[in-house]
Amino acid sequence: MIIEPKIEWKWGVFAALALTIIALYPQINLWLARGSEWQGSYVLTQGDEVAYSAYINALIDGRPRRNDPFTGHDDFPNKPTHESLFSIQFVPAYAIALPARALGISTSTVFIWLIVIGAFTSSLAIFWLLATLSGDSKLAAAGALFTLCFGALAAAQGFARFQFAGQRVHDMFSFLRRYQPSLVFPLFFVFCLLIWRALTRENAKARLLYSLAAGGLFSILVFSYFFIWTAALAWFAGLSLLWVLFKRDDFRRIAVTGPIVGAFAIAAVIPFFVMLSHRNKSMDQTQLLVLTRAPDLLYSPEIIGFIVLGVIGYACWRKLVEFRTPLVLFAASFAVMPFVLFNQQVISGRSLQPIHYKVFIANYVALISVTLVFFILWRALSASPAIPSRVLIFAALATLGWGVVEVSDITQRDSLKARLRDEVLPVAYRLTAMAREDGSLAAALAGSGPFPVVYASTLDVSGSIPSDSPLAVLWALHTPASGVSLAESKERFYLYMYYSGLSQKELATAMAQGQFIVLAPLFGVERVIEGLAPDQKPIAVHEMREELRRYTDFSANFTREQASHPTLSLVVVPSGDARPNFGNLDKWYERDAGEEVGIFTIYRVKLRPQN
């Protein structure tokens, strides 16, 4: 019989507060740097956050679930649109947008609070799980910090990767990427806790209730984030198999919990795939779905899991522990999960961006297994079952120190970008006001007209505008994120380069230098970022030459029809000497005198009359 331990929540709260303060450091640094000039922007922890904040901003503005904040393609009865991963994974989006809209809170303010909410709830969720499994609240607090601070290292990312390989792919604390997976991430560990109680409680009614709760929570996860609910499914499948193999005498427990969770899963997954069937088929390519059955055995979370399994196997061989005990089985299930995740394609034949498992969940689950196996071995080998407080304090301080290293490195690197995004906020607000003044915004929100399209010559500006304004942008790095076809995205990028006055020689130089902002939209991010897709194919010289030829033909044969699809309404450029060459833009559009907003100038533009 397993007795539910008494949890000392103060230790969990201390750990959560410490991690939250560290996670807020990039924002605090911007506040200190800008002082009274701070405009209200949030600091990016990862580049993809602008896509999520843009979608949240659209929902706060009252736009439909199926909306594209970058291109302005919204779902209306007379012009239906496709489903996207944003519209399908709607639970966390509405959980954020509806309260924000009711309270009148801006998207930037919400995203600042999401760092606090994500750091605090994730710390408490892992603390709760570890304290329940181990009965040691101090160990649970240190284990929560260890798991979250070393997550980037366990995924072979972050500061360590930069120091040894000179590369950064995902930065800081990846679990805090807003709002995916930050708002959903803690629920994974709550699901694990509910399963633990469903399998270990002696009271049959309690086991039934916890099973139902776990099934209900899994249903929520399905419409929250693909990489979290599939990870939860993989973990539960692995645990179920281990339970059947090694606890046959308690088979009735898994025989109750398994079907209940499975029924909830089926009930949620069926509508999920129905919605997915209404996606733009090009989304499979933009999301890098690969048909393969090749196994993957060398991802860092897998290696950690293999080591933990080896330690558990050795301890069982030496008769230090018994594998069939629930705690050992759970520790083993966490160690097995990465292997299941990274090799499910052997059965399914489909692999979808496995790096997301590596960075957002499998790395943290692997570290949970390390914490549990440490506790199990300590209890088996030590005369005193309690781990000394000084050991746990030292471990907590060491992990917090590493967390500071991860965060401060990224804060320093991205400080200029954070200031630039803060300068964009008043521009976004002014763009919105201008569209309200001429009535174009009201027409767009009602579905009776297109959203005004903004050309911003600086791509960081273009990507930031939709987070604080409902206006569409000509092109941004995340334009394909909402289901826009690759053909339309590339066409818009050609337009962006053309209006920016980018010459063929400058494009050739940018490609030769390997500039991400040019290579990614032309050849796909999977060809540029390591690990997004298996068997990454390098960009060949002949491919660059062909792309250069296409852009040359595009520029030489540019027509008024191309200039009007989409038709620009507003132009945002840096003021002063940083302004771009307007030669190509002025061939097709008339600009007004312009209006300076901070360090930028906004022009109203209209298409020149046809000759």
pLDDT per residue as tens digits for the range 367-426: 999 999 999 999 998 867 788 999 999 999 999 999 999 999 888 888 999 999 999 999
- pLDDT digit string (tens) for 543-584? 999 999 999 999 999 999 999 999 999 999 999 887 888 999
Q: Output the pLDDT for position 526.
A: 77
More confident residue, 231 or 530: 231
pLDDT value at residue 159: 72
* pLDDT of 533 strictly over 70: no
**Could you tell me where the DSSP H helices lie in 500-540?**
504-512, 516-523
Q: What is the pLDDT of residues 105-160, one digit of tens each?
A: 999 999 999 999 999 999 999 999 999 999 999 999 999 999 999 999 999 887 76
Write down the number of H helices and E strands in the chain. 29, 8
Contact 373, 308 (CB under 8 A): yes
Assign 283 a pLDDT band (cuts: 50, 70, 90).
low
Percentage of residues in the chain having pLDDT higher than 70: 95
pLDDT for residue 342? 93
User: To which H or E segment does residue 485 belong?
Assistant: none
pLDDT at 288: 61
Tokens of 74: 């919204």
Q: Is 558 exposed, middle or buried (0-12, 13-18, 19+ CB in 10 A)?
A: middle
Residue 168 reports pLDDT greater than 60: no
Burial class (CB in 10 A: 0-12, 13-18, 19+), 354: buried
In angstroms, rounded to a whole number, what is the distance separating the alpha carbons of residues 527 and 522?
10
Q: Burial-class residue 561 by CB neighbours within 10 Å (0-12, 13-18, 19+).
A: exposed
How far apart CA 545 and CA 348 sit, in angstroms, is: 37
pLDDT for position 169: 52
Q: What is the mean pLDDT of the chain?
A: 92
Q: Which two tokens stand for residue 488?
A: 């339309």
- Return the minimum-mean-pLDDT range out of 67-76, 163-172, 190-199, 309-318: 163-172
pLDDT category at 30 given cuts 50, 70, 90 is: very high
Q: Which residue has the tokens 């790095």?
A: 477
Given a contact cutoff of 8 angstroms between Cβ atoms, the answer to whether 376 and 326 are in contact is: no
Model confidence at 164: pLDDT above 60? no
Give the per-residue pLDDT at 352.
Answer: 77
Q: Phi and psi for 27 in degrees, rounded to 5?
A: -70, -40
pLDDT given for residue 561 in this prediction: 95
Rounded to 5°, angle at Cα 306 from 303 and 312:
145
Task: Let me know: does 507 contact 544? Beta carbons within 8 Å.
Answer: no
Q: Any idea which of 246-260, 263-277, 478-492 has the lowest mean pLDDT? A: 478-492
